[in-house]
């Protein structure tokens, strides 16, 4: 797979000495897995992230996130465990159609079973059948787990590691070896832990990833142990995989880089099992801005990526998240506000825009025109900085955000707002009225959901009725039925995702609801949003925007 051209090619990059604490001299890093990057990024949001409570993704969600990660500049995307569940089977089947521009897709699995020939191990075969360029496998580093969990010998465990790596390499895969429980294993028996790494290296592993699986290791220990591994196996690149059980996931990853690791694994927003994984939205700006190690070409898209993953997974944004949270650069105290208005860096450790965020002065107007300018340019609707249109769009969006709207994963609704302000919006149809009903019969028959929609197109009225599998489905069907005589092309549009979020649960059944809908025409997807105290109205608003945007775009092309 070809990689992007944003990075220098064929050159050896020396990480600056100041960026590598605890090292006697600057470490010369030649990353054999990528084109001369001092540190490359491995995202496991789609696999390890989904093991976290409250974080679930559909097959479509995983594909959408994979495309965003690729566009952002992530080097490796771990898709899941082939064959472990229907969702991952679907993902790897559909992922073959993705046109990734930069990232390599990785399938995840384990070493062969004990006392089983590697060519006869069904799990190894599934990894090959996934047809990803990269395969990541994990093995046991802790002798305790070898003897008490696997119930095998240390010699057989090393053979399992060596055989599995060699077999996958022989079949043309780039193999990344995750040394599970490595730090616990090393502290218990350095000799045994290092021997398992050597088995992976002897098998041809492209990178040895040290895993703090239990999340209990301290940064000083990580640095010391990583340095020991570097000295023992200097020819094989070293990686780090940390968990956040002591809230040290990011600190431990940075410590490992300081000790020579050139591969960092983590998840967007730190999602993952128990308290989560190393948070890439913190590691990435620390590497790039604080340590002067280039890792992504467009860091200013970081916050957008963070919010996208939250929205797609139907999770609320963590407002106090470092770098990307809404309050990361918010100032309220009088002294602070006075200072930052004169000199922003007096209370801001980086320029907020460098990570796609913005300064938030709570006692004055909010900034944010740059975000509108960037987004409108991406949509092909360029705006001029400081123009009245930008101010009006920003004012409208802020009003709607205050009402509960969010546009990070609803670019379709945002595009409609921009088109209206630019005078590039044509009213294709007018909603006159709509009505829904739900009937449950006592005789055991399935409930009936019915919707009636009346629209006007060029003063021509159309009234339709449709039944569906739920109120929203019946509304969707009735709307399409009404529009089809006038716009037959909407037959190409289908609804592929529907999410509901309660914004103010303390209001109980009167709570305001946000509905996010994803539509597609088979070529591209777009998200639209609706907010209301009435879940049906919120759904209706998102549905209308989805159809409306499709027609606006078609009309603009004519």
pLDDT tens string 418-437: 899 888 899 999 999 999 99
Cβ count within 10 A of residue 107: 29
Q: What is the pTM of this model?
A: 0.66
Half-sphere exposure of 58 (CA within 13 A, CB side): 11
Q: Provide the Cα torsion 290, 292, 293, 296; round to 10°.
A: 80
Confidence of residue 397 (pLDDT cuts 50, 70, 90): confident
Confidence of residue 69 (pLDDT cuts 50, 70, 90): very high
Torsion angles phi and psi, residue 503, rounded to 5:
-85, -30
Task: Specify the range with the lowest mean pLDDT, choosing from 138-152, 154-168, 508-522.
Answer: 508-522
On average, the pLDDT of the chain sits at: 86
Cβ count within 10 A of residue 129: 12
Residues 213 and 243 sit within 8 Å (Cβ to Cβ): yes
Pair of tokens at residue 544: 């209308």
Provide the 8-state DSSP code for 510. Answer: G
Residues 218 and 248 sit within 8 Å (Cβ to Cβ): yes
Q: Of the candidates 256, 179, 252, 188, which has an alpha carbon nearest to the alpha carbon of residue 215? A: 252
Angle at 366 between CA 361 and CA 369, to 5 degrees: 135
Instruction: Kindly give, in sequence order, each residue whose CB lies less than 8 Å from that of residue 380, ignoring residues fewer than 6 positions away.
Output: none
- Report which secondary-structure segment, H or E, holds 208: strand 207-212
Angle at 284 between CA 279 and CA 288, to 5 degrees: 155
Cβ count within 10 A of residue 384: 9
Of 3.30.200, 1.10.472, 3.40.50, 3.30.160, the CATH number of 429-486 is: 3.30.160
Tens of pLDDT, residue by residue over 288-301, are 999 999 999 999 99
Confidence of residue 369 (pLDDT cuts 50, 70, 90): low
Domain 34-291, classified CATH 3.20.20.70, yes or no: yes
Tens of pLDDT, residue by residue over 375-396, are 777 778 888 878 888 888 888 8
- Flag whether pLDDT at 483 surpasses 80: yes
Dmax (CA) for the chain in angstroms is 82
Instruction: Kindly give, in sequence order, each residue whose CB lies less than 8 Å from that of residue 90, ignoring residues fewer than 6 positions away.
Output: 59
- Flag whether pLDDT at 31 surpasses 60: no
Cβ count within 10 A of residue 419: 20
Residues 315 and 347 sit within 8 Å (Cβ to Cβ): no
- Flag whether pLDDT at 26 surpasses 80: no
Confidence of residue 364 (pLDDT cuts 50, 70, 90): very low
Which residue(s) pair with 434 in the sheet?
453
Task: Specify the range with the lowest mean pLDDT, choosing from 4-13, 129-138, 218-227, 536-545.
Answer: 4-13
User: Strand runs (DSSP E) across 444-493, as ranges?
Assistant: 448-457, 460-468
Measured distance CA(286)–CA(292) in Å, rounded: 8
- Flag whether pLDDT at 33 surpasses 80: no
Q: What is the mean pLDDT of residues 195-215?
A: 97
Q: What is the mean pLDDT of residues 38-43?
A: 96
Measured distance CA(47)–CA(410) in Å, rounded: 24
Measured distance CA(351)–CA(353) in Å, rounded: 6
Which residue(s) pair with 182 in the sheet?
none
Q: Kindly state the percentage of the chain with pLDDT values over 70.
A: 88
What are the C-alpha distances in Å from 31 to residues 238, 299, 405?
10, 21, 43
Measured distance CA(59)–CA(79) in Å, rounded: 10
What are the C-alpha distances in Å from 137 to residues 50, 82, 198, 239?
18, 12, 15, 13
Q: What is the pLDDT of residue 1?
A: 32
Q: What is the pLDDT of residue 271?
A: 97
Measured distance CA(47)–CA(82) in Å, rounded: 11
Of residues 134 and 398, more confidence is placed in: 134
Tens of pLDDT, residue by residue over 304-350, are 999 999 999 989 889 899 999 988 877 766 566 667 667 788 878 98
Name the most confidently modeled range: 2-16, 65-79, 397-411. Answer: 65-79
Q: What is the pLDDT of residue 334?
A: 54
Looking at domain 298-366, its CATH class is few secondary structures
What SS3 class is residue 431?
A: strand
Tens of pLDDT, residue by residue over 491-516, are 999 988 899 988 876 777 677 899 99
Domain ranges of the chain: 34-291, 298-366, 429-486
- Flag whether pLDDT at 470 surpasses 90: no
Residues 150 and 190 sit within 8 Å (Cβ to Cβ): no
Alpha-carbon Rg for the chain, nearest whole angstrom, is: 26
Name the most confidently modeled range: 20-29, 31-40, 84-93. Answer: 84-93
Q: What is the DSSP string of 86-132?
A: HHHHHHHHHHTT---SSPEEEEEEEPPPTTS-GGG-HHHHHHHHTT-
Measured distance CA(212)–CA(102) in Å, rounded: 28
- Flag whether pLDDT at 2 surpasses 50: no
Confidence of residue 460 (pLDDT cuts 50, 70, 90): very high
Q: What is the pLDDT of residue 88?
A: 87
């Amino acid at each position: 797979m070809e990689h992007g051209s944003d990075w220098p090619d064929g050159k050896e990059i020396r990480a600056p000495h100041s960026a590598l604490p605890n090292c006697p001299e600057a470490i010369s890093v030649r990353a054999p897995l990528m084109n001369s990057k001092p540190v490359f990024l491995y995202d496991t949001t789609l696999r390890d992230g989904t093991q976290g409570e409250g974080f679930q993704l559909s097959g479509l969600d995983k594909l959408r996130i994979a495309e965003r990660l690729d566009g952002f500049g992530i080097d490796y995307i771990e898709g899941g465990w082939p064959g472990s569940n229907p969702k991952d089977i679907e993902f790897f089947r559909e992922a073959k159609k993705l046109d990734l521009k930069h990232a390599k897709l990785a399938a995840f699995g384990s070493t062969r079973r004990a006392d089983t020939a590697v060519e006869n191990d069904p799990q190894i075969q599934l990894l090959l059948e996934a047809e990803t360029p990269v395969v990541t496998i994990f093995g046991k580093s802790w002798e305790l787990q070898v003897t008490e969990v696997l119930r095998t010998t240390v010699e057989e465990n090393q053979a399992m590691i060596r055989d599995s790596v060699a077999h996958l390499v022989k079949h043309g895969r780039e193999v990344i070896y995750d040394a599970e429980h490595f730090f616990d294993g090393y502290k218990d028996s350095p000799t045994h832990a290092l021997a398992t790494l050597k088995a992976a290296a002897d098998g041809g592993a492209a990178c040895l990833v040290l895993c703090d699986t239990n999340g209990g290791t301290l940064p000083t220990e990580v640095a010391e142990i990583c340095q020991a591994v570097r000295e023992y196996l200097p020819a094989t690149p070293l990686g780090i995989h940390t968990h956040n059980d002591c809230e040290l996931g990011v600190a431990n990853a940075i410590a490992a880089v300081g000790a020579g690791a050139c591969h960092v694994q983590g998840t967007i927003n730190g999602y993952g099992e128990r308290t989560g994984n190393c948070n890439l939205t913190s590691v990435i700006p620390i590497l790039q801005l604080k340590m002067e190690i280039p890792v992504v070409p467009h860091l200013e898209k970081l916050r957008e990526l963070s919010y996208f993953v939250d929205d797609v997974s139907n999770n609320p944004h963590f407002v106090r998240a470092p770098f990307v949270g809404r309050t990361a650069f918010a100032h309220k105290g009088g002294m602070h506000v006075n200072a930052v208005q004169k000199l922003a860096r007096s209370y801001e450790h980086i320029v907020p825009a460098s990570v796609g965020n913005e300064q938030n002065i709570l006692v004055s107007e909010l900034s944010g025109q740059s975000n509108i300018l960037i987004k409108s340019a991406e949509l092909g609707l360029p705006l001029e900085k400081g123009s009245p249109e930008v101010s009006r769009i920003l004012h409208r969006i802020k009003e709607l955000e205050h009402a509960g709207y969010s546009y990070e994963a609803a670019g379709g609704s945002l595009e409609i707002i921009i088109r209206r302000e630019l005078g590039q919006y044509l009213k294709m149809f007018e909603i006159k009225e709509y009505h829904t009903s739900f009937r449950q019969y006592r005789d055991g028959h399935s409930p009936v959901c019915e919707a009636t929609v009346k629209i006007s197109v060029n003063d021509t009225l159309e009234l339709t009725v449709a039944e569906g599998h739920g109120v929203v489905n019946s509304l969707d069907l009735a709307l399409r039925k009404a529009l089809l005589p006038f716009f037959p092309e909407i037959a190409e549009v289908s609804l592929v995702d529907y999410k509901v979020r309660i914004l103010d649960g303390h209001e109980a059944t009167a709570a305001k609801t946000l509905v996010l809908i994803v539509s597609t025409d088979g070529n591209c997807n777009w998200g639209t949003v609706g907010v209301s105290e009435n879940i049906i109205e919120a759904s209706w608003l998102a549905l209308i925007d989805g159809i409306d945007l499709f027609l606006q775009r078609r009309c603009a092309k004519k």
